Structure formats: C-alpha cells, structure tokens
Amino acid sequence: MSIATAIRDRDVAELPGRRDEDWRWTDLRGLIRKLPPPSEPFTAGVGDGPFDALAAERRVVVNGRGAEPIEVPRDASSIVAVRFVSRGAGVHIARLNIFLGANARLVLLESYESNGASLSEAALNITLGAGAVVERVVLAQDHAEAVSVSQADVTLASRATFGQTTVASGARRQRLETRVLHPGGQASLRLDGVYLLADKRHSDQTTVVTHAGTDGVTAQLTKGVVRDQARGVFQGRIVVEEGADRTDARMGHHALILSDRAEVDAKPELEIFADEVACAHGNTVGALDEDALFYARQRGMPEDDARALLTEAFIGEVVDRIDHAGAREVVRAWVAERLRG
C-alpha cells in the first residue's frame, strides 16, 4: 500500500486509505479516483528555496528527478539544502539516500514546494554511523491542491544523535512521516513538528520510533494550530522492544482549534515490551485560553494581535528547540507570517 506501488501498477485501489490503520485520517484512496498523468521533466527555473542562503551545498529535485545520494564521510561536517519541487499536475516519485560516517555531522534543510494539483512522494533513507549527528529541518509549503507525501526512514547507530523539526502548512492531503530505528545503544532523538493550517487544508505528521538498543532517549513535541475547515493529524508511536532497557521516551502533542469547523485527530501510542523504562505522552486539544486573551486585551492589545501573540508563543516553544540558528530564524519568520497573515 503506497503511492509508488499504485503508480507502478496504475491502480488507484493500491493507494493507502481509511481502512489502513496507519492512514485512517489521511484517506488517499477515497480522494483520488484517477491517477494524474505520468511525471514530465521540467526544465524552466524554479526560483530560490527558503534555505538557500544557509547551505554550503544546494540540491534541487524537480518532478522526482535529480535525487543524487548525499554522503558525509567520517568526521566531516556539512550543511545541505534539498528542495523537492513539483511543477505541473503529474505524479512525481523521488528517492534520496543519505549516509553519515562515524562522528560525521550534517544539517539537512529540506523543503517541499508544489504549485498545483500534483501527486508526489519523496522517500528518504537516512543512515547515521556511530556518534554521527544530524539536524533535519523540513519546511513543507505545498499548494492547496497538491497531494504530497514524504517518508523518511532513519537508522541510528550507537551514540548517534538525530534532531528533527517538520513545519507544515498543509495541502489537499499532506503527510510527513518519519520512522526512526534505534538499533544501537545510547542513541538520542528529538522529533518535533509544527502545523499551521487554514482553509480546507490537511496535514498529517506521523512518527514511529522503535527503540531496539539500550539507553535510548526520545523527546517529541508537536504543536498545531488549525482554523477554518482545516484538519490536522498527529500519529506518534513509540515502540520499546524487549531488552531495550533504560529507554526514556516522552511525547507531547498539543493543538489549538481556532474555528468551529476545524478538526484535529491524534493518536499518541506507546508499545512497551521492556520493564526498565520511563515512557509518557501527553495530548491536549482545545481553544485559546480565554483568560490569557482577556488579560492581553485588558492591557490595550487589539484582539487579533492578542490572538497572534498567544499562538506565536504557543508554537514558539517548538521553534526554539531548533539548534541551527539560521534555520530557526527562517522557521520563526515563516510561522509569524502565517499566524499574522
């Protein structure tokens, strides 16, 4: 069940849909009655990407073409911006492999940019050697009519550190899925997300973290703001396998619903097969705190400004956790623009 197999067999029935447990809130099968035309190459310019100024190396994958592997050798360090650009209404499939040698460092600045009713899937394989460090910042700014799916499979060797922040404004259907496997011990993981959705946009942030080694640490924080008739989806699963002792895993998902017709669906799951662990998750969904709003207005702040201030502060907690200062400011500006606009 994936977009790739549906394209290969030219069969919409193979698209994932509501009956697949992991896709219950992101129904592609019910949405797509007919597959879009095959992908065409696009040769015209695609303009600048959001992270161009920060990166030492820039990659642009247009309509699924040009995804050369990224390798960071042992002890080396690099900052790479990767843009997945979709132009036109075709079906675009991209695969990107990323390898880090032992103690290598990479800042991966990724963006998704579509401009129409395309159907795109990006599959990333990220492998970290022992002691390697990756920070991945993903900015998904898709078109309202696009269907965009990104799936990253991350494998952490022992003592590896992986930090991630996905930031999404939604699309007709948008899914950012991250699967992390800690086979080695002492791996450390931060897995954050932000979604800001308006109109009829949909965004799904799905994570699966599997602790197979000992002494792993996972910290997850996802926050979302939905308005109009938008729909935010968060699915987080933490699996602690037998023998993965001294795992410490924490997951939080908090969402604000700012209109009567918006929707938030969440499924924070824990699947624990070891006893020497500490795992927790928290989930809240609700409206802006009326008391805080009242307080701000009482001090002369117009209501719209007060709302923007409070929602920015709400999202700011996630943004502040981005390590790379440049990327953090790009994301902060992007968030502010959407919340104030």
Partner 1 sequence: MAAVKQTVEHVESLEKYKHGFVTDIEQDFAPKGLNADIVRFISAKKNEPEWMLAWRLDAFERWLAMDEPDWAKVSFPKIDYQDSYYYAAPKEKVGIKSLDEVDPDILETYKKLGIPLREQEVLAGVVGAPRYAVDAVFDSVSVVTTFKKELAQVGVIFCSMSEAIREHPELVKTYLGSVVPVSDNYFACLNAAVFSDGSFVYVPPGVRCPMELSTYFRINAENSGQFERTLIIADKGAYVSYLEGCTAPMRDENQLHAAVVELVTLDDAEIKYSTVQNWYPGDPETGRGGIYNFVTKRADCRGDRSKVSWTQVETGSAITWKYPSCILRGDGSSGEFYSIAITNGRQQADTGTKMIHLGKDTRSRIISKGISAGRSSNTYRGLVSAHPKATGARNFTQCDSLLIGKHCAAHTVPYIEARNGKAKFEHEATTTRLSEDQLFYVMQRGLSQEEAVQLLVNGFVKDVLQELPMEFAVEAQKLVAISLEGSVG
What number of residues does the chain have? 341
Give the interface size with partner 1 as a residue count (CB under 8 A): 34
Task: Please classify residue 333 by burial: count the beta carbons closer than 10 Å to its beta carbon, then call 0-12 exposed, 13-18 middle and 19+ buried.
Answer: exposed
In three-state secondary structure terms, 319 is: helix
- Smallest gap, in angstroms, from Cβ of residue 111 to partner 1? 29
Those residues with Cβ within 8 angstroms of residue 255's Cβ, 6 or more apart along the chain or in another chain: 223, 224, 225, 226, 232, 234, 264, 266, 284, 285, 286
Between 257 and 318, name the residue whose CB sits nearer to partner 1. 257
Structure tokens at 151: 């799936």
Between 159 and 202, name the residue whose CB sits nearer to partner 1. 202
* 264 part of the interface to partner 1, by CB under 8 A: yes
For residues 304 and 274, is the Cβ–Cβ distance under 8 A?
no
Of 98-106, 148-156, 260-268, 328-336, the window that binds partner 1 (rule: CB under 8 A) is 260-268
Of 81-89, 191-199, 279-287, 299-307, the window that binds partner 1 (rule: CB under 8 A) is 279-287
Candidate residues 116, 283, 316, 317; the one interacting with partner 1 per rule CB under 8 A = 283
* 257 part of the interface to partner 1, by CB under 8 A: yes
Between 115 and 283, name the residue whose CB sits nearer to partner 1. 283
Those residues with Cβ within 8 angstroms of residue 93's Cβ, 6 or more apart along the chain or in another chain: 3, 4, 7, 39, 64, 120, 121, 122, 123
* 296 part of the interface to partner 1, by CB under 8 A: no
Those residues with Cβ within 8 angstroms of residue 26's Cβ, 6 or more apart along the chain or in another chain: 16, 173, 175, 202, 204, 233
CA distance 310 to 223: 13
Of 30-38, 178-186, 212-220, 280-288, the window that binds partner 1 (rule: CB under 8 A) is 280-288
* 320 part of the interface to partner 1, by CB under 8 A: no
CA distance 240 to 153: 17
Of 106-114, 156-164, 253-261, 320-328, the window that binds partner 1 (rule: CB under 8 A) is 253-261
In three-state secondary structure terms, 331 is: helix
* 267 part of the interface to partner 1, by CB under 8 A: yes
Between 275 and 304, name the residue whose CB sits nearer to partner 1. 275
Q: What backbone torsions phi and psi does residue 35 show, to the nearest 5 degrees?
A: -70, 140
* 308 part of the interface to partner 1, by CB under 8 A: no
Candidate residues 266, 319, 322, 331; the one interacting with partner 1 per rule CB under 8 A = 266
Between 272 and 308, name the residue whose CB sits nearer to partner 1. 272
- Smallest gap, in angstroms, from Cβ of residue 1 to partner 1? 16
Of 143-151, 172-180, 284-292, 303-311, the window that binds partner 1 (rule: CB under 8 A) is 284-292
* 154, 84, 94, 324 alpha-carbon torsion, rounded to 10°: -20
Q: Which residues pair with 171 in a beta bridge?
A: 202
- Smallest gap, in angstroms, from Cβ of residue 250 to partner 1? 10
Nearest 5°: CA angle at 156, between 76 and 17?
A: 125
Looking at the chain, the number of H-run helices and the number of E-run strands are 4, 17
Candidate residues 282, 295, 302, 305; the one interacting with partner 1 per rule CB under 8 A = 282
- Residues 30-89 within binding reach of partner 1 (CB under 8 A): none
In the block, tokens 């997951």 appear at 251
Between 94 and 251, name the residue whose CB sits nearer to partner 1. 251
* 292 part of the interface to partner 1, by CB under 8 A: no
- Residues 133-162 within binding reach of partner 1 (CB under 8 A): none
- Smallest gap, in angstroms, from Cβ of residue 288 to partner 1? 10
Those residues with Cβ within 8 angstroms of residue 284's Cβ, 6 or more apart along the chain or in another chain: 253, 254, 255
Interaction site with partner 1 (CB under 8 A): 21, 242, 255, 257-287
